[in-house]
Amino acid sequence: MDRTAAAGDGSPRRDRVATWLGIGAGLLAIVLVVFGALRLWSANDDNSAADRTRAQIHRLRQAEVAARRVRGRLNAADDALAQEVQAMANTSRQIGDAENALTDAFNAATNQASNGDLGGARAAYQAQSGALSDLDTKLVGLRQHLAAAQQRLADLQRLEQRP
């Protein structure tokens, strides 16, 4: 009977075991709370990093769209400049042709005058006025193409200087 009473609820051994179990359960609860807090903190950091990554991706996509727009404008300005330069080259060839025609007409008039055909020489010299007019027209066209090319170049330089 003593033994039964000793094994009952007042035994010092049982009290120590209960105390250690309580301390162990308390420590386990503290460890679980700490790990739970760490996991929550880690999840918040992961969400924060994911949000920063999404924001950076969004900014990069916007920059890419802007870069494509600028590249398109640069290509268009470059093409326009190339067209004006080509037009200048064509007009320069036409000016060369007009100068050659004027020189030929002058040489023909000089030959006629040298051969004593003053009437023919006079007619040939008068025909030079048409060749001069044609040359003047071509020179005006070249000046217009040059002005347009300078404007296209200025446009291209402005586009290249934009951030």
- The pTM (predicted TM-score) of the whole model is 0.55
Element housing 45 (H / E)? helix 12-114
Tokens matching residue 99: 């100068």
Three-state DSSP class for residue 162: coil
pLDDT score for 38: 72
Distant-in-sequence, close-in-space partners of 128: CB < 8 Å, separation ≥ 6: 102, 105, 106, 109
CB 160 within 8 A of CB 70: no
Q: How many residues does the chain have?
A: 163
> Sorting pLDDT into bands at 50, 70 and 90, what band is 89?
very high
Give the model confidence (pLDDT) of 110-142 as tens digits.
888 889 888 888 888 887 888 888 889 999 999
> Sorting pLDDT into bands at 50, 70 and 90, what band is 5?
very low
Spatial separation of the C-alpha atoms in residues 143 and 84, rounded to whole Å: 11
Element housing 70 (H / E)? helix 12-114
Indicate if the pLDDT at residue 14 is higher than 80. no
Nearest to 156 by CA among 76, 101, 90, 99: 76
